[in-house]
Amino acid sequence: MNRRSFIRLIGGGVVFSATAGLTACSSEMPPEAIAAWQGPKPGTDVRKWILSYAILAPHSHNLQSWLVDLRTPNEIMLYCDLTRLLPETDPYYRQIMMSHGTFLELVDMAARERGIRANIELFPLGEFGPEEIDRRPLARIRLAKDPNIVKDPLFGQILKRHTNREVYDMSKAVPADVVQSMANSMRSYPIRFGFVGLDQSDTLEKHRAIAAEAWRIELTTPAKILETYKVLRVGAREIAKYRDGISINDPFLSVLVRLGLFDRSKAPKPDDSATVDQIENFNKNLESTPGFIWMITEGNGRTTQVNAGRAYVRVQLSGTAHGISMQPLQQALQEYPEQQASYKEIHNLLGASSPRYTVQMWARLGYGPQIEPAPRRGLEAHIAKS
Ligand SMILES: Cc1cc2nc3c(=O)[nH]c(=O)nc-3n(C[C@H](O)[C@H](O)[C@H](O)COP(=O)(O)O)c2cc1C
């Protein structure tokens, strides 16, 4: 969200003039919020070393719902923190499952780097049902030294991978060989990968139109936008305090928050200039998108969803290695009633007849500017205390 639209969102010009001149603080990310991106310190215990990489995985709304139990030696038991869910926009927790898949994939990669095989057993006490998730473990990971283990070349990209929500360079197409290596990176998963680029401008337009409409729906459905507001972290203070969620780091805006001038308990109206502005901005980003990728699974069980997350982070790391920026676009893939038409449209466009097939990931990609990393809560916050 840019400053102009944000100011409009919270009621605009009066506030602006009342606080003009209060912008002397820094807009840099608080160092403690992004310290995790330095990687583990030398000498860190091996499981913690591995987990220090895993917590850099992408997670929907940056909720970081990973909880680990390290009480059994050589083992990591992974649970989902049930206080960190998005029931409005992710009612069946599909994206939460994917966000655990991304974590597990990085566990596997980091373990390999240390000559260790991570034997990952998903849902050791049984798979969650299709609608709910519960306190049972998501995965039991047994670590064992293995002289034959092969390192994963994508490991080196973990500290460089970031979700990029900026405008991309429309003069640069994503080359076919780069797309091919992204597809190859996930070939061990039975998931259909697809891509559309600048050479198919009609199809590209169809992608943009569906993404734009789905975004409009999300912004104008109060319960959905309020769910995002709950995890919006505005300004250095909030970012440093929570180190999760969606960060907006702008000193001016944080002053507004401190003055109590941004009420996050109320959704803006659909015709508020703030909402209209947001839609325009997103459309600009879509216009500056030279390609989209997607990932389709047959079936949509919990294991399938976790594996889709594992495959997605591989694709993103592979793109990172080639300088590609990426931003998932989950709105049209979401299962709440207001998105039904967009859900159908994207599934039809991609030849994924639902319910047999599910589009698990759809993302814009291209060449974007350098961006700052997203906050992380730090390893200790993820270790379950007995
Ligand atoms: C399953 C899943 C769904 C996501 N959906 C979106 C999305 O719809 N829009 C978006 O901008 N980012 C999306 N993201 C990216 C996350 O917001 C991002 O991973 C998180 O904010 C942390 O930032 P990082 O990826 O730069 O570390 C998604 C990530 C995952 C794993």
CATH of the domain at 218: 3.40.109.10
pTM, 2 dp: 0.94
**pLDDT at residue number 19:** 35
> Does some domain include residue 4?
no
Ligand 1 neighbour 329 (Cβ under 6 A): yes
Q: Write the pLDDT tens digit of every residue in 150-180.
A: 999 999 999 999 999 999 999 999 999 999 9
Ligand 1 neighbour 285 (Cβ under 6 A): no
133 and 211 within one domain: no
> Whose CA is closest to atom 22 on ligand 1?
62
CA dist 337 and 340 (Å) reads 5
214 and 100 within one domain: no
Q: Which secondary structure element, helix H or strand E, spans residue 84, and what is its range?
A: none
CA dist 171 and 168 (Å) reads 9
177 and 39 within one domain: no
CA dist 135 and 285 (Å) reads 39
> Does some domain include residue 11?
no
CA dist 52 and 57 (Å) reads 10
**pLDDT at residue number 312:** 99
DSSP letter, residue 217: H
155 and 166 within one domain: no
> Does some domain include residue 177?
yes
> Does some domain include residue 240?
no
177 and 153 within one domain: no
> Does some domain include residue 170?
yes
172 and 134 within one domain: no
Distance 188 CA to ligand 1 centre (A): 23
195 and 138 within one domain: no
Q: Which of 55, 56, 61, 305 is the best mutation target for the ligand 1 pocket, counting ligand atoms within 8 Å of the beta carbon and taking the most?
A: 61
Ligand 1 neighbour 224 (Cβ under 6 A): no
**pLDDT at residue number 262:** 78
What domain range includes position 133?
A: 32-159+373-382
307 and 178 within one domain: yes
62 and 48 within one domain: yes
> Does some domain include residue 189?
yes
310 and 272 within one domain: yes
**pLDDT at residue number 221:** 97
Ligand 1 neighbour 98 (Cβ under 6 A): yes
DSSP letter, residue 35: G
> Does some domain include residue 134?
yes
> Does some domain include residue 252?
no
Distance 19 CA to ligand 1 centre (A): 33
Query: Can you count the helices (H) and strands (E) in the chain?
Result: 13, 10
Q: How far is CA 24 from CA 4, 92, 232, 340, 358, in A?
A: 18, 44, 22, 46, 48
Q: How far apart are the first and last CA of the chain?
A: 40
Angle at alpha carbon of residue 308, lines to 317 and 369, rounded to 5°: 30
Q: Which of 1, 37, 59, 362 is the best mutation target for the ligand 1 pocket, counting ligand atoms within 8 Å of the beta carbon and taking the most?
A: 59
Distance 161 CA to ligand 1 centre (A): 11
- Other CB atoms within a 10 A radius of the CB of residue 52 amount to 21
Domains held by the chain: number = 2
174 and 186 within one domain: yes
Q: Which secondary structure element, helix H or strand E, spans residue 265, and what is its range?
A: none
Q: Report residues of the chain scoring pLDDT below 70.
A: 1-27
Which residues in the chain belong to E strands, given as ranges?
66-69, 75-80, 116-122, 139-145, 192-196, 232-234, 246-248, 291-298, 325-328, 357-366
141 and 66 within one domain: yes
Ligand 1 neighbour 99 (Cβ under 6 A): yes
> Whose CA is closest to atom 17 on ligand 1?
61
Q: What are phi and psi of 27, to 5 degrees?
A: -105, 15
**pLDDT at residue number 14:** 35
CA 212 to chain centre: 18
